[in-house]
Structure 1
Amino acid sequence: MSDIPIAINYHLNKHCNLRCKFCFATFRDVPGALDVHDARALLTRLREAGGEKINFAGGEPTLFPHLALLIEHAKALGFTTSIVTNGARLRPLLERHAEALDWVGLSVDSSHEEVQAALGRGRGQHVAKSIAHADHAHAVGVRVKLNTVVTALTWDEDMSDLVRRMKPARWKVFQVLPVAGQNDGDVDQLLIPATAFEAFLERHRPLAAEGVPPVAEDNQAMRGSYVMVDPLGRFYSSLTGRHEYSEPILQVGVAQALRQIGFSMAKLRARGGLYRWER
């Protein structure tokens, strides 16, 4: 298989405590999720197929009741482990499982609490809570990644001071992505042209001199460049503008399922998806 799934995003569940208007992983069309036994088996298959880094996402992954067990299992298999979270139940995870968790990705799209609330991310305390989570992660030796989605409400903002305060090892900056069947109807008023996205990036490029350059991903860079697994254990892609799913990985194997969704290793490399992620 030419395209080995080195870095994998496993969306464990579709449940979330927030309602971000731009979310492209609502999984309205996915009933349920794998049980913990099959989820463990899936991780084993992915590792055997060449997986090196596993990122647990959702929905909100900290709401998945067996997240800690899967992180521990993934670390025992030899994965670099990561989660991307709004912080809902992050504190106990950091307190009890920091040795098995290499990265925590915190989702923050604005420095302003009222803007975060308008986007559907929290009710006015999201920024403050995210700063506290970043401090906690640093204190227990877990590397911090910051994920920012740039929208019509934020493209002209300067987040430099917040980025400096949170001290991420990596800052991912995404152009808001429309995906049919996932966020249509909610995301329309938040979409931005390439010029607005570039203006946001240009404003923050001086952070590169401080060791935190924005790692940019526009809509074209995102499509087809991720190995993503849905809650039912299928690879999926949004190459066509909506989610297209493979057959279940545990039934047909990693290689066959991956071929069904059009993943491109070349696009992953082009967007800077390969980096020094080891702890």
Structure 2
Amino acid sequence: MLPPAVNFHINRHCNARCRFCFATFRDVSGQLSLPEAMKTIDLLHAAGAEKLNFAGGEPTLHPQLGALLRHAHGLGLVTSVVTNGARLERLLLEHAEVLDWAGLSVDSAREDVEVALGRSRGQHVAQSIRLAALCRASGVRVKLNTVVTTLNAEEDLSGLVRQIAPERWKVFQVLPMLGQNDGAVEPLLISAEAFEGFVRRHEPLRAEGLAPVVEDNDTMRGSYAMIDPAGRFFGNATGAHVYSDPIVTHGVAATLAQVGFVPHKFEGRGGRYTW
């Protein structure tokens, strides 16, 4: 059964080179045309989707992101982008009225760590703080996504989280994925104990309504309904991507069944919330 929230990775192209990226899609060629992407959204809506998260790559670099947001919003879907902020300011200026959420990807309060992770060439933290304020001023709700690695596992991000002030803060244990980040992610992998230590350090934020929504490796595997740039569901339960047949030709139910999605894991990680 399709969960109410779906992640649609609409492109491979990205301006960053994050060493831990689990969605490089180096094994995927091509991406959907605008009519095909819109048809995919129609099918997701008909199958019961309520919220559509546009991801990448970097989705703000997709030339038709605005049209896709407008189409999804017109169907009544809650819309979201997961972004490093590349062209978010322009997106807000042109399409804020059809964008409900912006998920900002920030892993450290230190600019040098963000550079070392491949997240940016500098000023990513400052830009993210500014963009969070701009989102709120534009009526767009803010989510924060943080990946915990060897480079930031000892950090205290409490000050940064307070500055960004997200309505939802997702904290992920860095996830190795064969065919996507192998050969780059290995020095960044952390133990369960190190991840738990990071989570405990930020537990006091709970009293301020900023407690992290925590996902370790096991929680992430098989718990997301994800679509690749070629319009296929993909799963990660095996530790590598498994791709379905194209959704537009084979339908939502048949293709989702091909990738190992586990509905109770979606519910267990808190995938359903007030959006």
Q: Which residue of 2 aligns with 1:42?
A: 40
Paired letter, 1:29: D
Q: State the alpha-carbon separation in 1 of the partners of residues 94 and 27 from structure 2.
A: 34
Is the CA contact (8 Å cut-off) linking 2:2 and 2:225 kept in structure 1? no
Distance (Å, rounded) in 2 between the aligned partners of 1:4 and 1:260: 12
Residue from 81, 84, 90 that aligns with 1:92:
90
State the match for 1:73 in structure 2: 71
Q: Which residue of 2 aligns with 1:152?
A: 150
Look up the match of 2:80.
82
Look up the equivalent residue of 1:87 and give its one-letter code: G
Identity rate, percent: 61
Matched residue, 2:30:
32
1:169 to 167, 170, 178: 167
Contact preservation (8 Å) 1:8, 1:55: yes
Query: Any stretches of 5+ residues in structure 2 without a counterpart?
Result: none
The residue that corresponds to 1:242 in the other structure is 240
* Residue matched to 1:253: 251
| Structure 1 consecutive aligned stretches of length 4 or more whose deviation exceeds 3 Å | none
Match in the other structure for 1:225: 223
Taking structure 1 as the reference length, the TM-score comes to 0.98
Shift of 1:5: 2.9
Listed as ranges, the gaps of 5+ residues in structure 1 are none
**Match of 2:193, SS?**
helix
Q: Contact (CA 8 Å) 1:62, 1:85: kept in 2 or not?
A: yes
Equivalent pairs counted in the alignment come to: 275
Amino acid across the alignment from 1:255 = A
Shift of 1:124: 1.5
Other structure's SS at 1:24 match: coil
Distance 1:213 1:97 in 2: 30
Task: Output the CA distance in 2 between the equivalents of 1:4 and 1:235.
Answer: 11
For residues 252 and 271 of structure 2, what CA distance do their matches in structure 1 show?
A: 20
Instruction: For 1:52 and 1:239, locate their aligned partners in 2 and report how far apart those are by CA, in whole Å.
Output: 23
CA drift at 1:199: 0.2
**Could you tell me how far 1:18 is from its partner in structure 2?**
0.7
- Structure 1 counterpart of 2:10, which letter? L
Measure the CA separation in 2 of the matches of 1:220 and 1:60. Answer: 25
Match of 1:205 in 2: 203
SS in 2 for 1:245: strand
Residue in structure 2 matched with residue 20 of structure 1 by the alignment: 18
Q: Hey, what's the Cα distance between the residues in 1 that align with 2:122 and 2:76? A: 39
Tell me if structure 2 keeps the 8 A contact 1:5–1:51.
yes
Normalised to the residue count of structure 2, the TM-score between the two structures is 0.99
The Cα shift of 1:4 comes to 2.3
Determine helix, strand or coil for the equivalent of 1:46: helix
CA contact (8 A) 2:3 2:266 kept: no
What residue is the counterpart of 1:105 in the other structure? 103
Query: 1:5–1:46: 8 Å Cα contact kept in structure 2?
Result: no
Listed one character per residue, the Cα deviations across residues 236-272 of structure 1 (whole Å, up to 9, x for unaligned) are 0111110000100011100000111111111011111
Paired with 1:270 and 1:205, the residues of 2 have a C-alpha distance of 20
Q: In the alignment, is residue 9 of structure 1 matched against residue 7 of structure 2?
A: yes
Q: What secondary structure, in the 3-state scheme, does the structure 1 residue paired with 2:130 have? A: helix
Aligned to 2:273: 275
Say if 2:55 and 2:83, in contact at 8 Å, map to a contact too: yes
SS in 2 for 1:10: strand
Secondary structure at the residue paired with 1:99?
A: helix
The structural deviation recorded for 1:189 is 0.0
Does residue 181 of structure 1 match 2:190? no
Q: Is the 8 A contact 1:5 1:49 kept in 2?
A: no
Per-residue displacement from partner, 1:143-202 (whole Å, max 9, x unpaired)? 000000000001110000000000100000000000000000000000000000000000
